[in-house]
């Protein structure tokens, strides 16, 4: 018998469920929220994704550009 690790509800065969870290959870116990992520490429080569810490889009109001002196 398969049961939810959280609420111990029995999950019959062919029942939609989640497997998280090798534990089974029913759909009532798991809150699934959609999100959008992006993959970034330069000349066809993958350089990172929006879930990575090495790529971020800088909006114009967040830009801390400082004008330097030309020598």
pTM of the full structure = 0.57
Per-residue pLDDT, 71: 59
In the prediction, which pLDDT does 28 show?
A: 96
- Are residues 5 and 12 in contact, defined by beta-carbon separation less than 8 angstroms? no
**pLDDT for 63:** 67
Place of tokens 């939609």: 16
- What does the pLDDT look like over 12-68, one tens digit per residue? 999 999 999 999 999 999 999 999 999 999 999 999 988 887 887 777 666 676 677
Please report which confidence band the pLDDT of residue 69 belongs to, taking 50, 70 and 90 as the band edges: low
Position 54 scores a pLDDT of 80
The length of the chain in residues reads 71
């Amino acid at each position: 018998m398969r049961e939810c690790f959280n609420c111990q509800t029995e999950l019959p065969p062919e029942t939609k469920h989640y497997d998280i870290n090798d534990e089974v959870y029913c759909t009532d116990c798991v809150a699934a929220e959609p999100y959008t992520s992006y993959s970034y490429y330069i000349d066809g080569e993958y350089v990172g994704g929006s879930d990575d810490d090495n790529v971020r889009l800088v909006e114009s109001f967040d830009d801390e550009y400082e004008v330097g002196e030309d020598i």
